[in-house]
Amino acid sequence: MFSPEQLAQMRAAQERWNDETLAPTLQKTPERPALFSTISSEPIQRLYTPLDIADTDYQKDISFPGEFPYTRGIHPTGYRGKLWTMRMFAGFGTAEETNARFKYLLSQGQTGLSTAFDMPTLYGRDTDHPLVEGEFGKCGVAVTSLADMDILFDGIPLDQVTTSMTINSPAAIIWAMYIAAAEKRGISRAKLGGTLQNDILKEYAAQNEYIFPIAPSMRLVVDTIEFAAQHMPKWNPVSVSGYHIREAGSTAAQELAFTLGDGIAYVKACLKRGLNIDDFAPRISYFFNAHNDFFEEIAKYRAARRVWARQMRDVYGAKNPRSWWMRFHTQTAGVSLTAQQPENNIVRVAIQALAAVIGGTQSLHTDAMDEALALPSEKAVTIALRTQQIIAEESGVTNTIDPLAGSYFVEALTNRMEAECLDYFRRIEEQGGMEAALEKGWIQQQIADSSYRFQQEVDSGQRGFVGVNKYTVDDPIEIPILQMDPDGENKHMARLNKVRNERDQVRWAEAMDNLRQAAQGEHNLMEPILAAVNAYATLGEMCDVLREVFGVYQEVMIV
């Protein structure tokens, strides 16, 4: 970008500034004795200049919006053409309660649905299983059969609204329930648009909501990707999720590297199945965290697009430019929310959301201020949605594309983020690839080490959190807390028992036997799962069949 003569002049000018301007100021007023680093503990220089991005080639490394390597965004007009999808996470208690929340959010201007499921559902258990007693509806909605799915999306135009579902190990089954519910209403699967999280590798790395061992779990992911490529052109069958990796304590660079590493593992698995990369890569999407460090997060998103584009085109040979696009959803950092002074979370979320928007997200969820205390109340979730709407309508940040491009600081951070990501790729390959690195516990150890380091900084006061270790008060909490239907579990259980008693038992038994035989073979499991769903097999029954065939994963112990 600069000639050797220009660089020499800049170095001389900076040395003069150091001696004549900076040094006297530091002698008179020393800098604050604080940690000058990102929230990932990456050191931050006092000043960034063209010298810090001297090796950056604009055309090669940054380029224009809508052009490779998409550092500045995948769309030529950014948000001037279309705003991001405002997709608030919702799910609690019964299907009836969550359906009402969906309709409320849509009435308030939300533009897409995002579904949270409760722990029994996430672990593939029916609500009356003894292992999940007491967990009904606490962190999401309970869905046990097609009857629940019918109610969950009752009255919602599924061919007009896109739906995201945060479900992983039993993702194929829950997706099949959604497809079946739509088809019962005369909506063809080809018209359905949305995203299935379905990212099982990050479960072994961070969230631990796994059921089956890695190999059969990967088979299920590839089955869903293959099925979507053949039948559901508007659906994203896997949203590779760095969010939970970051929530578990990773650094921003680790979130980026391990998430993209998971995505590449899915690409490799699909290629091994015999799929053409351009038939499925355009429908792989991503899900990132938006944490507290404003500039680090923006750099992460910009680097993510660049790394993915280069991997897809230059390493895996994708020809379709849409295969090079990284499309991603963002959620503000739940782990940053504090139970102390919960109103402060409104400010945190606004800053995080702004970073996601300036970083070019396609979809955004903003956390509610009360989520460190309970599932979000209607008042809190409305404020969270309004936060996005104010950014979109009043802040001015949507008026131009990638407004921080060219910033010496942001471009230097973007370059460093990419370099760290590629170094992690190298280290993962030294472990034998992503699956092997997970089997060994190497990925888990990297995250655990970063989490421990961060917590030490907070506990020592080296890193401040307002209301937690700085500016604390003992005032009582005075915000409304969500109250769920106290009879909701009984209503759900009654529906579950009705399904079991009234379904066609012959059809059900045949469907379960076919699912078992299919699992023992090598064919795609989506059609047998759909048949079982339509026979009103329950989630737990189908997962139990797969447990019999696949086995159950045993966690790697980190020592």
Q: What is the pLDDT of residues 481-524, one digit of tens each?
A: 777 888 899 999 999 999 999 999 999 999 999 999 999 999 99
User: Residue 479: its pLDDT value, please?
Assistant: 78
User: Residue 558: its pLDDT value, please?
Assistant: 63
In terms of Cα–Cα distance, which of 318, 398, 310 is closest to 353? 398
Asked if 531 and 511 touch (Cβ cutoff 8 Å), the reply is: yes
Asked if 524 and 517 touch (Cβ cutoff 8 Å), the reply is: no
- Extract the residue ranges of the chain whose pLDDT is less than 50: none
Q: What is the pLDDT of residues 142-152, one digit of tens each?
A: 999 999 999 99
Domain ranges of the chain: 78-394
Query: For residue 37, how many C-alpha atoms fall within 13 Å in the half-sphere facing its CB?
Result: 13
Asked if 316 and 375 touch (Cβ cutoff 8 Å), the reply is: no
pTM equals 0.95
DSSP states of 375-403: SPPHHHHHHHHHHHHHHHHHSSTTSSSST
Q: What's the sign of the alpha-carbon dihedral 457, 462, 467, 468?
A: positive
3-state secondary structure of 288: strand
Asked if 112 and 363 touch (Cβ cutoff 8 Å), the reply is: yes
CA distance 335 to 458: 13
User: Residue 66: its pLDDT value, please?
Assistant: 97
DSSP states of 457-514: HHHHTSS--BTTTBS---PPP-S------TTHHHHHHHHHHHHHHHS-HHHHHHHHHH
Assess whether the previous peptide bond of 376 is cis (omega < 30° from 0).
no
3-state secondary structure of 240: strand
CA distance 415 to 48: 13
For domain 78-394, give the CATH superfamily. Answer: Methylmalonyl-CoA mutase (3.20.20.240)
User: Residue 481: its pLDDT value, please?
Assistant: 77
- Residue 215's φ and ψ, nearest 5 degrees, are -60, -55
Decide: residue 196, CB within 10 A, 0-12 exposed, 13-18 middle, 19+ buried. buried
User: Residue 155: its pLDDT value, please?
Assistant: 96
